A and B are shown apart, each in its own frame.
Chain A
Amino acid sequence: MKKLMGSYKMEKNFKNDFPIFKGKDIVYLDSAATSQKPACVLDAMRDFYKKSNANPYRGAYGLSVEATTVYNNARQSVADFLNAKESCEIIFTKNATESLNLIAYSYGLSYLKKGDEIVLTILEHHSNIVPWQKISKQTGAKLKYLYINKNFEIDEKEIEEKITKKTKVVCAVSVSNVTGTVNNIDKIIKKAHSVGAVAVVDISQSVAHSKFDVQKTNADFVAFSAHKMYGPLGIGVLYGKKELLEKMSPFLMGGDMIEYVYEQETTFAELPNKFEAGTQNVGGAVGLEAAIKYLNSIGFKEIEKHENELLSYAYKSLKKLPYVTIYSPEKNRSSVISFNIKNIHPHDVSTMLDMANICVRAGNHCAQPLTRFLGIDSTVRISFALYNDKSDVDKLILQIKNIYEKFKKYIEG
Chain B
Amino acid sequence: MEEMDQIYNEMIMEHSMSNKNRKPLEKATSCLLGHNPNCGDEIKLEILVKDGKIVDAAFSGHGCAISQSSTSIMIDTIKGKTVEEAKKIIEIYLKMIKREKLSSKEKSMLGDARAFENISNMPARVKCAVLSWHTMQDLLNK
Answer whether A378 and B39 are a contact pair too, CB < 8 Å, given A351-B125, A402-B1, A410-B13: yes
Does A351 lie within 8 Å of B122, measured CB to CB? yes
CB neighbours of A345 from chain B (8 A): 63-65, 68
A321-359 CB contacts (< 8 Å) to partner B: 343-348, 351-352, 355
- Find chain B residues with CB under 8 A from A377 CB: 40, 62
The answer to whether A352 and B4 touch across the interface, beta carbons within 8 angstroms, is yes
Residues on B with C-beta less than 8 A from A378 are 39-40
Minimum distance in angstroms from B137 CB to a CB of chain A: 23
B57-88 contact mask (Cβ, 8 Å, vs A): 1 or 0: 00000111110100000000000000000000
Which A residue's beta carbon lies closest to that of B40?
Answer: A377
The interface centre, meaning the residue of A362, A371, A378, A413 with most chain B CB atoms within 10 A of its CB, is A378
B3 x A347 contact (CB < 8 A): no
What is the CA–CA distance of A346 and B66 in the complex, to the nearest angstrom?
Answer: 12
Check if B104 is an interface residue, CB within 8 A of chain A: no
Q: How far is the CA of A355 from the CA of B136 in the complex (A)?
A: 31
Which residues of A (355-413) have their CB < 8 Å from a CB of B?
A: 355, 362-364, 368, 371, 377-378, 402, 406-407, 410, 413
A371 vs B4: C-alpha distance when bound (angstroms): 28
Does B90 belong to the interface (CB within 8 Å)? no
Closest CB in chain B relative to A392 CB, distance in Å = 20
Chain B residues closer than 8 Å to A413, beta-carbon distance: 17
Q: Indicate if the CB atoms of A355 and B64 lie closer than 8 Å.
A: no
Distance in Å from the Cβ of B40 to the closest Cβ of chain A? 5
Smallest CB gap from B14: residue in A: A410
Contact at A347–B125, with CB atoms within 8 Å? yes
Which chain A residues lie closer than 8 Å to B122 at the CB level?
351
A348 and B8 contacting across the interface, CB-CB below 8 Å: yes
| Closest chain B CB from A396 CB (angstroms) | 16
Task: Report the count of interface residues on A (CB-CB < 8 A).
Answer: 21
Q: Which of B101-142 contact A (CB under 8 A)?
A: 122, 124-125, 128
Residue of B nearest to A413 (CB): B17
Q: Is the CB of A347 within 8 A of B4?
A: no
The answer to whether the Cβ of B49 comes within 8 Å of any Cβ in the partner chain is no
B89 at the interface (CB under 8 A from A): no
- CA of A201 to CA of B62, assembled, Å: 34
Q: List A contacts of B7 (CB < 8 A).
A: 351
Cα separation A377 to B37 with both chains bound (whole Å): 11
The residue in chain A whose Cβ has the minimal distance to the Cβ of B5 is A406
B39 touches A407 (CB 8 A): no
* Most chain B CB neighbours (cut-off 10 Å) among A343, A345, A364: A345
Q: Across the interface, which residues of A come within 8 angstroms of B66, CB to CB?
A: 347-348
CB-CB < 8 A to B125: which residues of A?
347, 351
B1, B62, B65 pick with most chain A CB within 10 angstroms: B65
How far does the Cβ of B62 sit from chain A's closest Cβ, in whole Å? Answer: 6
Question: In the bound complex, how far is the Cα of B38 from the Cα of A346, in angstroms?
Answer: 13
| Chain B residue at minimum C-beta to C-beta distance from A368 | B40
Q: How far is the CA of A363 from the CA of B64 in the complex (A)?
A: 11
Interfacial chain A residues near B68, Cβ < 8 Å: 345
Chain B residue nearest to A378 (CB atoms) is B40
Cβ-defined contact, A343 with B17, below 8 A: yes
| Residues on the A chain within 8 Å of B63, using CB | 345, 347
Nearest residue (CB) in B for A371 is: B40
The residue on B at minimum CB distance from A376 is: B40
Q: Mark A132-156, 1 if CB is under 8 A from B, else 0.
A: 0000000000000000000000000
Nearest residue (CB) in A for B2 is: A355
Complex contacts, A351 vs chain B, CB 8 Å = 7, 122, 124-125
For A343, list chain B residues within 8 Å (CB). Answer: 17
Q: Given that A347-B64, A410-B17 are contacting pairs, would A355 and B39 also be in contact in the complex, using a CB cutoff of 8 Å? A: no
The answer to whether A407 and B13 have CB atoms under 8 Å apart is yes
Q: A357 → chain B, closest Cβ, in Å?
A: 11
How many angstroms between the C-alpha atoms of A397 and B63 in the bound complex?
24
Point out which of A351, A362, A410, A413 has the most chain B C-beta atoms below 10 A from its C-beta.
A351
27 contacts between A and B (CB under 8 A): A343-B17, A344-B65, A345-B63, A345-B64, A345-B68, A347-B63, A347-B66, A348-B8, A348-B66, A351-B122, A351-B124, A351-B125, A352-B4, A352-B8, A355-B1, A363-B38, A371-B40, A377-B40, A377-B62, A378-B39, A378-B40, A402-B1, A406-B1, A406-B4, A407-B8, A407-B13, A413-B17
Residues of B participating in the A interface, judged by any CB pair closer than 8 Å: 1, 3-4, 7-8, 13, 16-17, 38-40, 62-66, 68, 122, 124-125, 128
Q: Which 3 pairs between the two chains have the least Cβ-Cβ distance?
A: A345-B64, A347-B64, A377-B40
9 more contacts with CB within 8 A, not counting A343-B17, A378-B39, A406-B1, are A344-B65, A345-B68, A346-B64, A347-B39, A348-B64, A351-B7, A351-B122, A355-B4, A363-B38
